């Protein structure tokens, strides 16, 4: 398992969770290492454009796209998931466009605190998807985000969470998957999800 370090993301926390699973993992930061990777985690925290720009400036955007095109498993986490979409209302730079979806700001509503932060329930729409294997319908994950992903095709939405209405908590298209929550902060549920990804 390889974790992409392009200057933004919780690479250390993800590494620690994989170590608990006894999954061999390395943090990588070069195009050659991306080419050699078998499974790749794309983390991301903070602002969409900052993450996209950092990925571009690191020289890793094209290698990531080539990795995805080769059919190898890719998992985006938090803003890393949002980067898999066409783009975001948070910025003006294009996303990777690997999944037909777009990232929108949460709609202002009375009593709705933004960012959506803390533990929340996730309902899997595709329970037999490898990423959701052995995760109960009442699984709980840790979220920190102010933007939500909307899929253009319902089949790309793997799981939903409800906060001011339902939004995509996990998305996927073939070998490409993403989760809006932080599995590295989600204890046993996060461990199970990372274990699922490690064995797909």
Cα separation, 178 vs 197, in Å, equals 11
Indicate which residue of 26, 89, 182, 187 is catalytic: 182
Question: Is-catalytic flag, 166?
Answer: no
- Which residue is it, tokens 């890393």? 80
| 52/7 Cα distance (integer angstroms) | 11
Cβ–Cβ < 8 Å for 185, 143 = no
To which residue do tokens 């571009």 refer? Answer: 56
Q: Is 184 a catalytic site residue?
A: yes
Residue 108 DSSP code: P
**3-state SS assignment for residue 118:** strand
Gap between the Cα atoms of 134 and 118, Å rounded: 22
Of 150, 143, 148, 152, nearest in space to 190 by CA: 143
Under 8 Å between Cβ of 135 and 68? no
Determine which one of 90, 108, 184, 187 is catalytic: 184
Pairing mode, strands 26-28 and 74-77: unpaired
Which 3 state secondary structure label does DSSP give 133?
Answer: coil
Let me know how long the chain is.
200
Q: Mark whether 182 is an active-site residue.
A: yes
Catalytic residue among 78, 151, 157, 161: 78
Active centre residues (catalytic):
78, 182, 184
């Amino acid at each position: 398992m390889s974790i992409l370090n392009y200057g933004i993301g919780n690479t250390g926390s993800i590494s620690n969770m994989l170590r608990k699973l006894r999954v061999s993992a390395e943090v990588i930061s070069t195009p050659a290492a991306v080419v050699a990777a078998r499974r790749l985690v794309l983390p991301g925290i903070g602002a969409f454009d900052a993450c996209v720009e950092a990925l571009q400036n690191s020289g890793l955007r094209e290698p990531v796209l080539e990795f995805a095109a080769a059919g190898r498993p890719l998992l985006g986490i938090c803003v890393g998931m949002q980067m898999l979409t066409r783009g975001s209302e948070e910025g003006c730079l294009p996303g990777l466009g690997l999944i037909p979806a777009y990232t929108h700001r949460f709609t202002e509503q009375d009593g709705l605190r933004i960012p959506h932060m803390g533990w929340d329930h996730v309902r899997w729409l595709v329970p037999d998807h490898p990423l959701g294997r052995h995760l109960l319908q009442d699984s709980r994950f840790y979220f920190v985000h102010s933007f939500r992903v909307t899929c253009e095709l319902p089949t790309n939405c793997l799981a939903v969470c409800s906060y001011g209405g339902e939004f995509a908590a996990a998305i996927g298209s073939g070998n490409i998957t993403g989760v809006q929550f932080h599995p590295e902060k989600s204890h046993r549920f996060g461990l199970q999800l990372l274990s699922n990804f490690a064995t797909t």
